[in-house]
Amino acid sequence: MNKDETITLGGREFPVAPLTLGQLRQAGPAFTRIGIDTPEGMGAQTTVIYLAMHAADPKVTAADVDSIVGVTFPELKKAIEVVAKLMGVEMKEVVPGEAQPVAPAASPTSTGSTSMAA
């Protein structure tokens, strides 16, 4: 990484760094639970952010992260995106609305048998 990465929480900038393999082991499962609609989802976000901040500065504690005042949801979303990039996770924008059709896995002329559920 050529330049220091930072995230903004509560209007303040904090350094973050790529995670160690051990931290990835913790962050991976937490990353799959991220969300703002449950306490577990919010906890997962703070876990992932804590790990990246701790990687940049080992003196940072989980309590330090939990006590950041004035964090907004847009800041939190952006911070998670920055950490996801450090983890090698590609974030895709979810577009609300009707589900889009999915291309079939095999062509209709394939020799494999298929069945349709009624």
Per-residue pLDDT of the chain (118 residues; tens, 9 = 90+): 435 799 999 999 999 999 999 999 989 888 888 888 888 989 999 999 999 999 999 999 999 999 999 999 999 999 999 999 988 887 666 555 555 555 555 544 444 444 444 4
pLDDT of residue 117: 47
- Full-model pTM: 0.72
pLDDT of residue 32: 85
∠ Cα 104 109 110 (to 5°):
75
| Helix (H), strand (E), coil (C) string for the chain | CCCCEEEEECCEEEEECCCCHHHHHHHHHHHHCCCCCCHHHHHHHHHHHHHHHHHHCCCCCHHHHHCCCCCCHHHHHHHHHHHHHHHCCCCCCCCCCCCCCCCCCCCCCCCCCCCCCC
pLDDT of residue 105: 53
Q: At what angle do helices 39-56 and 21-32 cross, to 10 degrees?
A: 160
